[in-house]
Amino acid sequence: MNNTQKIIRLIKRTREFEAEPYFWQEKELFQHDFDIEMVVETFQEEYDATFRFEGSGYELYLAIQKWFEKNIG
């Protein structure tokens, strides 16, 4: 399984199990190469269709964490 698939699986499982408070434990995945656009599309499908992002992989991790803090708590 490549890194993109791991992150997509992480987002889907986080949603399924309402595990947003534990998402930070997987931040190292965002420090390696992955398809940012595909991950953003998955986040849009699972959480917020209006979510937009441009930047690095780690910046995407930070943006998702910020979204969780703002919208889920």
Residue-range definition of the domain harbouring residue 62: 3-71
Q: How far is CA 25 from the centre of its chain?
A: 12
Please state the pTM of the whole predicted model. 0.94
Over residues 34-68, the pLDDT tens digits come to 999 999 999 999 999 999 999 999 999 999 999 99
Q: How many domains does the chain have?
A: 1
What is the average per-residue pLDDT within 27-38? 97
The pLDDT of residue 28 is 96
The pLDDT of residue 63 is 98
Q: Kindly report the three-state secondary structure assignment for every residue of the chain.
A: CCHHHHHHHHHHHHHHCCCHHHHHHHHHHHHCCCCHHHHHHHHHHHCCCCCCCCCCHHHHHHHHHHHHHHHCC
